[in-house]
Amino acid sequence: MTAPAHRTVQSLVAVLTRALSRRSNLERAAIEWFVPTTIRNLDRILTEPLTPELLAQIDRETLYAYFAHRDVIVLALELLEEALAEDELESQIPAIREYLLGSGTEELADWALRFVALLRVHTGAVAKSVAPAEMVAELGQVDWEGFLRSPAIALLRVHLLAGALVEAVARHVPVERAAEVAVHTFLAADKARFVWGILGADLNPDQRLRPSERGARALALASALARSLDPDDVAGLTQARLGAWSSR
């Protein structure tokens, strides 16, 4: 067995703890709220039934914990970026694949986590191109309830699910549970890719493959997903969405 995956929670907590000593009282209060909120939501993903209702509750709590207070929006983004940089997600994929081996979800997890690694790079680049004051003003005007109801919420959800998948392997949760998290991470990654595509960027972790190879890869992913979902769930996925994995 390869070395266990790095614990995303430990990375986040370490960054936030270091930040406490150099922040104002308001910022410290915000940081002390982020930590338990993040840990609690990861714990819920790993221990409670993974229903649409649970994921929607976690989306709401995470969104408001990080972005509801305009005074700490930029701080929240900076701390998240620092924690995610320490997480080194791509280096953990082999250990996660090995843990999931035989579950039928290792390819789904591999694609989803490589997508999240791409998403982090692009999101960080976009954030760096916007002045902090501009960012606060923009985020302060966001219709958060509308965002929660839109497909764009996948851009937030996929980061937390990817962290939960890393954490599942680090905690040695039952493989069946880790596989379930892998499926949900893949579904969120697929939706996030669709949303990012609307914004004008195609984040395809298989982009370097030849078109024929991407097509074969897409079929393999669709087959793995179909085996991992209930028939009713499979029926809910359109052929267009399945085909999108190999597009462009």
Q: What is the pTM of this model?
A: 0.77
Q: Tell me the average pLDDT across 197-202.
A: 77
pLDDT of the residue at 248: 44
- Residue 151 burial by Cβ neighbours in a 10 Å radius (0-12, 13-18, 19+): exposed
Report the alpha-carbon distance of residue 143 to residue 214 in Å, rounded. 37
Q: pLDDT: is 71 or 171 the higher one?
A: 171
Q: What is the pLDDT of residues 117-134, one digit of tens each?
A: 888 877 655 545 455 555
Provide the residue ranges of all domains of the chain, joining segments of one domain with +.
8-205
Q: ∠ CA 105-44-229 to the nearest 5 degrees?
A: 30
Q: What is the pLDDT of residues 87-97, one digit of tens each?
A: 678 888 999 99
What does the block give as tokens for 216?
A: 């074969």
Q: What is the pLDDT of residues 165-182, one digit of tens each?
A: 998 998 899 999 999 999
- Percent of residues, the chain, with pLDDT higher than 90: 25
